[in-house]
Structure 1
Amino acid sequence: MKRFFGLLMALTIAAGSSAVSAAELPAIHSETYVVMDAASGQVLLERGAHNRMYPASITKILTSALALEHLRETGGSLDDKHTMTYEATHSIDRGSTHIALTEEEVVTVRDLLYTTMIESANDSANGLAEYTAGTLDAFPELMNRKAAELGAVDSHFVNSSGLHDPEHYTSAYDMALITKWALGIDGFRDVFGATEYTVPVTNKQPKERNVGTHHHMLVESKYYYEGTTGGKLGWTPEARHTLVTLAERNGLELICVVMRSTSQYEKYEDAAALLDACFADYSSCEIQTAQYAREAIPVYDGEARVGEVSILSETLAFARPATVAKADIKGELIAPERYEKGAEIAPKLRFTDREGRQLAELPLAWEYQEAPLPAVPAAAQTEEPSSASTFPLSPLEIALVVFALLIGALFLIRERNLRKRRKQRKERAARLAAGVIDVAPEFQRRPERRLPAPAQQSTASRRQRENSPRRRYPRGRGG
């Protein structure tokens, strides 16, 4: 009986702690918030997502990601050395969070990254800014340029740390967008999810410095949240409490941002409630793009085809509502039949449910290839090839043409020789008639033999002919 009641109580507790859906979402204390699918960028829940707010130290997500991007682009290493300047160490309020870095202290990029993200050290953030941009003044330009590239239009940054400035602001949506980008940079997830770090002895500090996270959802605590893999929190009197949390369950990875929470612990409660609702209402859905991609899309410069765009095969993931079966999802390629040279190339794949409601719209990976042959105007593509094109006859046809030309040449030579001979004969005959040429005796014409006239024949011959016997035939014979 005790085992029965114990099992019943365990089931009751488990049921009471299960995730709630958005329909059962409790009151959220933070002024603005957003939950974004880390894979697709879908916004699953939000309130005031585009309201401009002061971010405080969640600014350091952008600072650290830019430093890592710079390190990879320049071929650097986490072990690269950086010497702290007077400006980096003395431009922050000593009452703000720091690890007591001093002027001309030499530390590694790894030291700066981990202490910036875990301890939220403002002097370390300044060190990263100098490492990345050369000076503190140059770094905000990089921050704002990256924000614009990502589409974070409600943001403007003036420092690397997030210390208050009226012109330093962002929004819950922009911070989720920036975090989504940062997660794709090599090494960022390591520092984003780290909970402790030790700074070794330096040229200015003879002792090690140990730091540990203040994000209670990442470590064992009353507010620990299962599946949390990273996060950053911030606070200033003007911004109040801000929090970015990354959590994953069953393949679905979510970014939760809450801003301007009035209580130190309300931000954890709000983030947990929002994540619970989204994990209850959504699951990860993977789609192969090859089944939706069509043939290469031509690119034209006027009427000349100059290249083509090919859609690359890849696996895309997005958050599928629990109420929509995977079999009911329809994908549609959003791209023109042809691109004009210089136009933006941004093919997308749009997913809808059975009723046509949009679930997600994801950008597709593509590559451009120039036309392998000289550009041919579209209007001339059906015309006959020009004389500069490949010879159109086959080897047999070429042999027949050569044979016909040879016969024709022989015929012309024969006619020429015949004309020459006829001309020579005419010229010879004319000279003979004029007596210009003596003919050899053997070639001279013999005189004609003349018979004697009948009156002049001899009497003996006539008498001999008369006395010659004549043959007579009997009458009646004959045929």
Structure 2
Amino acid sequence: MRKISLLLVAIMMVSIVNIQTVLANTPDVSAASAVVMDTVTGRVIFEKNAHKKRTMASITKIMTAVIALENGNLNDIVVTSPNAAHAEGSSIWLEEGEKQKLEDLIYGLMLSSGNDAAIAIAEHIAGSVDEFAKIMTQKAKDIGAINTNFKNPNGLDEEGHYTTAYDFALITRYALKNDKFAEIVKTEKRQIPWEGHKWNRVLTNHNKLLKMYEGCDGVKTGYTKKSGRTLVSSATRDGWQVVAVTLNAPNDWEDHKKMFDYAFDRYKIQSVCEEGDFMKTIPVLDGKKDTISLVASASFQLPIMEGEKNKVEVKYDVPDYVMAPVNYGQEIGKIDLYLEDIKCGSIPLAAIDNVERKDVKMAFEKITKSWMMMFSNREIILKLMIN
């Protein structure tokens, strides 16, 4: 009995040590909600209250920029309305009736967090702030951010204006696929015109991580008294990009550095499929060959932890057969790659050889000859039976 008790104590001690080790390796962040997400797969690498709905402040402008880039022309001339010119909070000092290119307003939106720029953009794209907010919310739903609702384009506190850390990681992951968006949020300083003045406006990016963390790509800061400090940032190392989100984080700069270090220390880019790798063989009908081999038409890499490569699941989406002729390199179906039930990507499959169609005339003659031989043999057999 005493031996059993000692064994149980030993097991408990090992378990406690393991738990303490895990906790010691997990980022201790000041944020009320936080998440780190792989931009390739959407895989969550770290989270803390990631699905808790909270106010968001000026990170709202990430979606404002997305809608502007997707629905406007960068060379559009935007006229500043009285509503935009008198926007409260952070500003790029737009004046009523002032004209600016949409591109310059997006820079003012994302670098200097201009609330006036946000309203000018919204009114230009949708006619009103309310209509623009509806477009923002629908876009969020389309992306998969189902726990997000927008009431304005600038992030000022308003009833019904909320998101989650997880949702905003999804939104930013989507936004970073737009090359112009990625270019804007990485810009540290830019000058734009200032009508009626002898000098240009100088826009300075509020995101200190661009200088504080090697590999930082942007993205957007935010603050209101109700929301606290909010921050969305991304960083790339060894070709792998992650996005981090914190909501109500008193020490957000340090939080993000810790979360980035946690991700980059634990995960490495590894190849899970190489171009030309054999994947499957399928039948060919009416061909001079009965089957054709399919290979991966591209390579695919994933950020994964040590020992996880064998957990990548391959699901085939290929036809049961193909009709001849088949050409070398012809795309035939695809494979979908999954890790922990999350779809990581898809790779088209290609034929590795040519398969010509059978000669119909020769095939018919071959069948006819076979039938003639069969009937000829039948007559011989009948004669032998009669005799």
TM-score normalised by length of structure 1? 0.59
Bigger shift: residues 99-108 or 172-181: 99-108
Distance in 1 between the 2:278 and 2:131 partners?
Answer: 44
Q: Give 1:313 deviation, angstroms.
A: 4.1
**Residue aligning to 2:165:** 172
Following superposition, the deviation at residue 337 of structure 1 comes to 7.5
Match of 2:226 in 1: 238
Asked if 1:53 corresponds to 2:54, the answer is yes
* 1:41 to 1:106, Cα distance in 2 relative to 1, 3 A: same
Letter in 1 for 2:301: A
Q: Give the distance between the partners of 2:30 and 2:303, measured in 1 at CA.
A: 25
Distance 2:230 2:57 in 1: 7
Q: Does 1:154 align with 2:153?
A: no
State the superposition RMSD in angstroms.
3.2
Q: Distance in 2 between matches of 1:365 and 1:66?
A: 29
Kept in 1, the 8 Å contact 2:312–2:337? The answer is no
Q: Matches of residues 435-446 of structure 1 in structure 2 within 5 Å?
A: none
Of 74, 86, 91, 2:82 maps to: 86
Q: SS where residue 187 of structure 1 aligns? A: helix
Cα gap change, 1:133 to 1:278, in 2 (>3 Å) = same
Pairs aligned (count): 312
Could you tell me how far 1:124 is from its partner in structure 2?
A: 0.7
1:100 corresponding residue in structure 2: 93
CA–CA separation in structure 1 for the residues paired with 2:348 and 2:119: 38
3-state SS of 1:232 partner: strand
> 1:325: Cα distance to partner?
6.3
Q: Identify the residue that residue 216 of structure 1 maps to in structure 2.
A: 208
Which residue in the other structure is 2:267 paired with?
A: 282
Evaluate the alpha carbon distance shift between residue 133 and residue 227 of structure 1 in structure 2; reply closer, same or farther with a 3 A threshold.
same
**Closer/same/farther in 2, CA of residues 359 and 295 from structure 1, 3 Å limit:** same
1:349 to 326, 330, 337: 337
Q: Contact 2:278–2:296 (CA<8 Å) still a contact in 1? A: no
Counterpart of 2:273, as a letter, is Q
Question: SS in structure 1 opposite 2:59?
Answer: helix
Aligned residue in 1 for 2:199: 207
SS of 1:149's partner is: helix
> Contact (CA 8 Å) 2:273, 2:296: kept in 1 or not?
no
Query: Which residue of the partner structure matches residue 251 of structure 1?
Result: 239
| Cross-structure match for 1:462 | none
In structure 2, the CA distance between the partners of 1:135 and 1:179, relative to structure 1 (3 Å rule), is same
In the alignment, residue 93 of structure 2 is paired with which amino acid?
A: A
Superposition pairs for residues 267-278 of structure 1, below 5 Å?
267-278=252-263
Alignment deviations for residues 32-72 of structure 1 (CA, whole Å, 9 cap, x no partner): 1000011111100001111101110001011111111123x
Partners of 1:68 and 1:186 within 8 A in 2:
no
Rounded Cα–Cα distance in structure 2 between residues aligned with 1:235 and 1:22: 29
Measured after TM superposition, the shift of residue 188 of structure 1 is 0.7
The CA distance in 1 between the partners of 2:132 and 2:55, in whole Å, is 19
Counterpart-to-counterpart distance in 2, 1:217 and 1:62: 20
- Give the Cα–Cα distance (whole angstroms) in 2 for the partners of residues 193 and 311 of structure 1: 38
Length-normalised TM-score, structure 2 = 0.72
3-state DSSP of counterpart to 2:315: strand
Residue 135 of structure 1 and its aligned partner are, at CA, apart by: 2.6
Aligned to 1:318: 302
What is the alpha-carbon distance in structure 2 between the residues aligned to residue 366 and residue 99 of structure 1? 47
Gaps of 5+ in 1: 1-19, 297-309, 339-345, 352-357, 368-389, 398-479
Amino acid at match of 1:267: D
SS of alignment partner, residue 34 of structure 1: strand
Q: Which has the larger radius of gyration?
A: 1
Aligned: 1:130 with 2:123: yes
Instruction: Give the secondary-structure state (helix, strand or coil) at the position aligned to 1:46.
Output: strand
2:313 aligns with: 331
Counterpart-to-counterpart distance in 2, 1:294 and 1:164:
55
Structure 1 pair 350–325 and aligned structure 2 pair: CA distance change class (3 A): closer
Does the CA contact (< 8 Å) of 1:152 and 1:178 recur in 2? Answer: yes
Aligned to 1:183: 176
Structure 1 residues 274, 31: closer, same or farther in 2, change over 3 A?
same
Alpha-carbon displacement from aligned partner over 1:87-126 (angstroms, at most 9, x marks no partner): 2223x22xx0001112211101121011100100001111
Structure-2 residue corresponding to 1:36 = 37
Distance in 2 (alpha carbons) for counterparts of 1:198 and 1:170: 32
Does the 8 Å CA contact 1:312/1:364 hold for their aligned counterparts? no
Residue identity in the other structure for 1:324: G
Q: Which amino acid aligns with 1:251?
A: G
Compared CA separation, residues 393 and 314, structure 1 to 2 (3 A): closer
Instruction: Give the distance between the partners of 2:104 and 2:295, measured in 1 at CA.
Output: 41
| Aligned residue in 2 for 1:407 | none
Distance in 2 between residues matched to 1:105 and 1:160, nearest whole Å: 20
Question: 1:245 is aligned with what amino acid?
Answer: S
* % identical equivalent positions: 30
CA distance in 1, matches of 2:71, 2:270: 33
Q: Is the 8 A contact 2:34 2:165 kept in 1?
A: yes
Structure 1 149/295 Cα, relative in aligned 2: closer, same or farther at 3 Å? farther
Q: Does structure 2 retain, via aligned residues, the 8 Å contact 1:21–1:280?
A: no
Query: Per the alignment, in what secondary structure is the counterpart of residue 128 of structure 2?
Result: coil
Match of 1:192 among 152, 161, 185: 185
Aligned mates of 2:281, 2:125 — CA distance in 1: 42
- 2:11 is matched with none
* Counterpart position of 2:371: none
Higher strand share goes to which structure? Answer: 2
Unaligned runs of 5+ in 2: 1-20, 283-293, 321-333, 350-360, 369-387
Separation in structure 2 between the aligned mates of residue 267 and residue 214 of structure 1, nearest angstrom: 13
